[in-house]
Amino acid sequence: MRRAAAAAAVAPADPQLLAAAFESAIASRSPRLGRAAHARALRLIAPALSPFICAHLVNLYSKLDLPAAAAAALASDPHPTVVSYTAFISGAAQHGRPLPALSAFAGMLRLGLRPNDFTFPSAFKAAASAPPRSTIGPQIHSLAIRFGYLPVDPFVSCAALDMYFKTGRLKLARHLFGEMPNRNVVAWNAVMTNAVLDGRPLETIEAYFGLREAGGLPNVVSACAFFNACAGAMYLSLGEQFHGFVVKCGFEMDVSVLNSMVDFYGKCRCAGKARAVFDGMGVRNSVSWCSMVAAYAQNGAEEEAFAAYLGARRSGEEPTDFMVSSALTTCAGLLGLHLGRALHAVAVRSCIDANIFVASALVDMYGKCGCVEDAEQIFYETPQRNLVTWNAMIGGYAHIGDAQNALLVFDDMIRSGETAPNYITLVNVITSCSRGGLTKDGYELFETMRERFGIEPRTEHYACVVDLLGRAGMEEQAYEVIQGMPMRPSISVWGALLGACKMHGKTELGRIAAEKLFELDPQDSGNHVLLSNMFASAGRWAEATDIRKEMKNVGIKKDPGCSWVTWKNVVHVFRAKDTKHEMYNEIQALLSKLRKQMQAAGYMPDTQYSLYDLEEEEKESEVFQHSEKLALAFGLICIPPGVPIRIMKNLRICVDCHRAFKFISGIVGREIIVRDNNRFHHFKQYQCSCGDYW
């Protein structure tokens, strides 16, 4: 490539040599070589460059994405040809500048130049980026018919077809497709790929079988589209059959097809099969690694997903927006704040932190890790927000029960007009109202969501509103909402009612909810334990014991409650009355000291949550050996002052531990953050962020 440029610098003004130099600059993506060849042409041929050289200059600068230079080259041509204009239009369309492309197309028509079969596809590509109601696409279509290119020219027809799909004119697209006398694989691929992108996987599958029935042979693009459609429709069996066909046809050696297969198996909840395909790849690219990370993340295998990300980095892959955003979702699932911060640093170092996908993932990660201040900073600094960004910020407030800020952001979202809320948005808002005690606001939103936003209430919304009413002590009204549901109540709906009944001692209604849960999921130990605990809290020990015996008789085992703290990259796990930890003696000594200090400050153990029929003194000792208290004592011993103590718990924090943590936060002057299976609690100076409404 450099030899051609050098030859143009020493040889006489041979147009063919100059053209070769221009092509070399394009191939090497080197503006410097291109400008050097341009300067040589001006010295040898100036002041008047031939139309041949002018066309090559326009092509050079257009393909190198130098729009000003391309426009200047086109304007300097005293006799522009259709080749010059086509080069300019093609370059502008390829680099996402539809307005200059369409303006040049109109300019060449005014000069009386006739577009050819290369000009029209580029013009259609530019028109595909026009607003949905723009008439520019149909106008170009009319010109193509007048000049005889439509519907007979397959190249022009496919470009027009793609334009109609991308601008949402499905009826016109299907009409044009029906008129095409020669439907090649490119035309069928246009139907398939656009249907996948628009969320119509069944149409993609139908188009593929239409291609086969017409005697056409699929290519790599067809295979990728079909796998994407099977992933979108969750058609595991069909996709597996197609996997066999792909191997038979020899497409399994193509990296794009293999990437689609990894993505397909990941989305169909078969992470193991996705890994098998990934391990069998002879060549991997960045998309391969990203697909594997996403496959694990989508299936809740956060540790494996992060390991795949590290594997990509070790193999020399540079972090991309998709790779980093996928890895960030694993940090949110693991509550791995330190890993998330490290990935945030990677994003900043790679200059992709402002990317909308990365920024949205960062907001989501910080929100799910309880660092709402960091989430807010990224949210408000992000130059562009999409639906995911808004939902992540509202969801972050929902995690900590900050209903006021959740509603403020929701109102800002509506006023901004950037995007309309979806069902996830409303789930987050109602959840935040439930956890923040804004019962009236949450219920009003639920009642008006259909009218205001055109969103039909789903099971998730009913579960949220049952939780909302239940937390406010309105269990009977919540039960009425369940009875009026147009669909069958789910486990989450009855679970919300059972939790509320346990909270407020509504044992009879709680029994009804529990019986429904036993029907839906008889092997779930959590529902049996919750019912037993509800009776125990009410002092009905015989009934609580009966439920525990029934669990034992049918072989249902209770998931043990545990809490854990991460310190120096080691996870320390504690269970109630745990005596196995290497620092057991130090932990017990500190708990004894804290107990005396708390009692001096006015703390009294809440023994109703000691779920055994014991004497009062034994109950007090029982509640003080809960796993979260053991984890807290360990954190106070090991984690230096000034560093927040972060505790994770697999069950809901009990009322006594919640009260004790408030006292301890003030006595020792430390910030304590607890993430239980329901929400975050930030304890500081004798207060909790939940305001005791949880």
* In a shared domain, residues 573 and 519: no
* In a shared domain, residues 629 and 681: yes
Q: At 274, is the secondary structure helix, strand, or coil?
A: helix
Last residue of a domain, one of 552, 568, 597: 552
**Domain range for 585:** 560-686
Which residues are CB-neighbours of 418 under 8 A, at least 6 positions away?
A: 385, 386, 390
Last residue of a domain, one of 521, 552, 583: 552
Report residue 567: phi and psi, to 5°: -145, 125
Last residue of a domain, one of 533, 552, 571: 552
pLDDT of residue 2: 47
- Long-range (24+ apart) CB contacts under 8 A made by 639-642 are 639/565, 639/567, 641/669, 641/670
Report residue 413: phi and psi, to 5°: -60, -45
Q: At 645, is the secondary structure helix, strand, or coil?
A: strand
Does some domain include residue 66?
A: no
* In a shared domain, residues 579 and 680: yes
Q: Residue 166's CB: how many other CB atoms inside 10 A?
A: 21
- Pairing state of beta strands 672-675 and 570-575? unpaired
Token representation of residue 587: 């932990």
pLDDT of residue 608: 58
Q: How many domains does the chain have?
A: 2
pLDDT of residue 280: 94
Torsion of the alpha carbons at 447, 449, 452 and 455, rounded to the nearest 10: -140
* In a shared domain, residues 570 and 476: no
Token representation of residue 673: 């953050």
Report residue 335: phi and psi, to 5°: 55, 35
DSSP state of 582: T
Does some domain include residue 664?
A: yes
Report residue 454: phi and psi, to 5°: 70, 25
pLDDT of residue 4: 47
The sheet with strand 562-567 has its strands ordered as 570-575, 562-567, 645-649, 672-675, 680-684, 687-688
Instruction: Give yes or no for a cis peptide into 47 (omega within 30° of 0).
Output: yes
Q: At 557, is the secondary structure helix, strand, or coil?
A: coil
Euclidean distance between CA atoms 205 and 195, whole angstroms: 9
* In a shared domain, residues 547 and 576: no
- Pairing state of beta strands 672-675 and 562-567? unpaired
DSSP state of 650: S
Q: Where are the alpha helices (DSSP H) in 538-678?
A: 541-553, 584-600, 616-623, 627-638, 655-668
Which residues are CB-neighbours of 186 under 8 A, at least 6 positions away?
A: 154, 158
Does some domain include residue 6?
A: no
* In a shared domain, residues 503 and 594: no
Does some domain include residue 314?
A: no
pLDDT of residue 694: 67
CB 194 within 8 A of CB 165: yes
pLDDT of residue 614: 38
DSSP string, 453-508: H-----HHHHHHHHHHHHHTT-HHHHHHHHHT-SS---HHHHHHHHHHHHHHT-HH
CB 565 within 8 A of CB 572: yes
- Pairing state of beta strands 570-575 and 645-649? unpaired
Does some domain include residue 307?
A: no
* In a shared domain, residues 601 and 543: no
Per-state percent for the chain, helix, strand, coil, to nearest 5: 70, 5, 30
Confidence (pTM): 0.78
Report residue 60: phi and psi, to 5°: -60, -55
Q: C-alpha angle 524/526/528, rounded to 5°?
A: 85
Q: Which residues of the chain have pLDDT under 70?
A: 1-13, 45-48, 132, 333-335, 528, 538, 554-556, 558-559, 607-622, 694
pLDDT of residue 607: 60
pLDDT of residue 23: 82
pLDDT of residue 336: 78
DSSP string, 43-56: HHHTT---HHHHHH
Q: What is the CATH number of the domain that holds 470?
A: 1.25.40.10
Token representation of residue 295: 């496959």
* In a shared domain, residues 499 and 633: no
Report residue 264: phi and psi, to 5°: -60, -50
CB 499 within 8 A of CB 467: yes
* In a shared domain, residues 425 and 539: yes
Euclidean distance between CA atoms 672 and 689, whole angstroms: 11
Whose CA is closest to 307, among 278, 282, 283?
278
pLDDT of residue 617: 44
Give the per-residue SS3 of 56-75. HHHHHHHHCCCHHHHHHHHH
Report residue 687: phi and psi, to 5°: -125, 155
* In a shared domain, residues 529 and 567: no
Does some domain include residue 598?
A: yes
pLDDT of residue 171: 93
pLDDT of residue 622: 67
Euclidean distance between CA atoms 199 and 125, whole angstroms: 21
Does some domain include residue 444?
A: yes
Does some domain include residue 292?
A: no
* In a shared domain, residues 470 and 567: no
Report residue 532: phi and psi, to 5°: -60, -45
* In a shared domain, residues 544 and 609: no
